[in-house]
Structures are given as C-alpha cells and as structure tokens.
Amino acid sequence: MTLSEELLMAYDQQLRTDAETPSAIAVERLGPLRLVSFAGGRGFVTYQDLDGASARTIAHWVVEALAFYRSDPAIVRVEWKTRGHDHAPGLHKALLDNGFEPDETESVMIGPASALNVDVQLPPGISLRRVTEERDIRAMSAMQDEVFGTDVSEGNADAILRRVALDDGMELWVAEHERAIVSAGRLEPVPDTEFAGIWGGATREEWRGRGIYRALTAARARAALTLGKTLIHSDSTEYSRPILERYGLHRVSTTTPYRWRR
C-alpha cells in the first residue's frame, strides 16, 4: 500500500463519520447516507461509502433525501458531497435530474502537520493572529465572502459565531495589513482522530503570491501540533493545492459538491 493509499484509508475511516459534521443540529439516516441539518437552513448529505449500491438504488436515495429536506421549510439549501474515489454508479445523473448543480471540483489533500510547520517571511506590515471577538469574526467572514465571489452575508457570519459558541476547538486565524484583514482561514481539530482540518483559506487577490497564505497555513499547523494532531486535511482549490503539495501534502482524491436551493 502506498502512502497516498494509507492516507486515503485514514480519511475514509476517521473523517467520514459524525466527525465530519461537528456542528450539526440534527442527523437522520437513509441507508448509508447521513442527512445532516445545520443552523441557518443548510442541509448536507454525506456518507462513508454507498455499500455497493446500484444506479437504481442510488437514484432512489437522491429522490428520498431531497424529499426529506423539502419537507422542512427551514432548509433553503442542500449540499451533496461526493468523492472521486467512491463507486457511485448513476449518482451524477441522479443529482442533475433532481435539480442539484455541481460546483467546482477540489482536491482532497492530506499530509503530516509537521511538514507545514515552517518559518515564512511575511511582507512588510503583515501580521498574523487568532481572532475570537465578534467584530473581528464578522470582518473575517465578510472578507471571505468577497474573495469567494458571493454577496457579503450576515448569515454566514452568524453561523461562524454560533460555531464559536460551541467551544469545540475550532480556531480562526487572520493576516492583517494596517488593521484590515487580507487573508483568513480556520483550523478544525477532529476529536478522537489524528486529524485537524484547515478550511476557508481566502486571500485578497492583490496580496496573493507573497507568502501570506503559506504563513497562515504554517500558523494553523503549529496550533494543530500543539493540540496533538499529526495529520492535516483540506479540500483545496487550484490556488492552494500547489502550495500544500510543495510542503508534503498528498492529493489522495477529489471532492465535488452538488448544490440544491429551494
């Protein structure tokens, strides 16, 4: 078994469980599917595998899962998270037939936290810190919305603040220039596993390519090691994937979210 195969096995066994959705407010089961509900009207479908199901069975599950969310008027959007290494005959067609739209495919990256723990020289005037106050968290969320090309949403900020209130170990990190946030990301230690996740990495376009994201990643890796986590995982865009690969993370699979909106 290669290292990438070992890391993928650890990913499937340790992360594709309830550990994947620590802030869920409800979880229902449909065959192997976990139908998760989050605060803010968001549904999320995930699973460890599809138990060798046929295309006909999978199509039935898609219809049933969507009916479950449609029956709850509080749910306004649903994400169905797929992985490139899963055996899932007919899933793409079934999702499209039921109104889901595929989003950008990202790389599932895994590697040792120690490999990311390096010294990075920051541009003049840039500083890093962990944020915990509501004002800072709202500013961070707004910056991420802008970078990801979506409307600035108070709802997104509210969801982060609700998660912070759970005090479940999540850490929020930012890079600032003259007190303005120019890059941000979060660290999510996964209880009872070797893993911590790095998520939400966003850097303003005019500040890219100057080592800021790299430094922010190193800061989160050091925090993960302090918490006893030895592996880092991330779903990475093509902006961040090459950076993580250069420092020892492996592309073990891909993930494509399919999205439905009421």
pTM: 0.87
Query: What one-character DSSP code corresponds to residue 210?
Result: S
pLDDT for position 155: 85
The three-state secondary structure class of 220 is helix
The three-state secondary structure class of 78 is strand
Question: pLDDT tens, 188-243?
Answer: 999 999 999 999 889 999 999 999 999 999 999 999 999 999 999 999 988 889 98
pLDDT for position 185: 95
pLDDT for position 39: 85
At 180, give phi and psi (nearest 5°).
-100, 135
Calpha distance 92→156 (Å, rounded):
28
Which 3-state string (H, E, C) describes 138-205?
HHHHHHHHHHCCCCCCHHHHHHHHHHHHHCCCCEEEEEEECCEEEEEEEEEECCCCCEEEEEEEEECH
pLDDT for position 22: 83
pLDDT for position 92: 98
At 225, give phi and psi (nearest 5°).
-65, -40
Q: What percentage of the chain has pLDDT greater than the value 70?
A: 100
The residue extents of the domains of the chain are 17-106, 111-254
45 neighbors 33 (Cβ within 8 angstroms): yes
Instruction: Grade residue 133 by pLDDT with cuts at 50, 70 and 90.
Output: very high
Question: pLDDT tens, 119-131?
Answer: 999 999 999 999 9
More confident call, 156 vs 27: 27
Q: 111-254, which class in CATH?
A: alpha beta
Calpha distance 223→229 (Å, rounded):
9
Residue 64 has pLDDT above 90, yes or no: yes
Selection from 43, 47, 119, 53 nearest residue 89 by Cα: 53
Residues 6+ apart with CB under 8 A from 135: none
Region class of 41: left (phi > 0), else alpha (psi between -120 and 50), else beta: left
pLDDT for position 240: 83
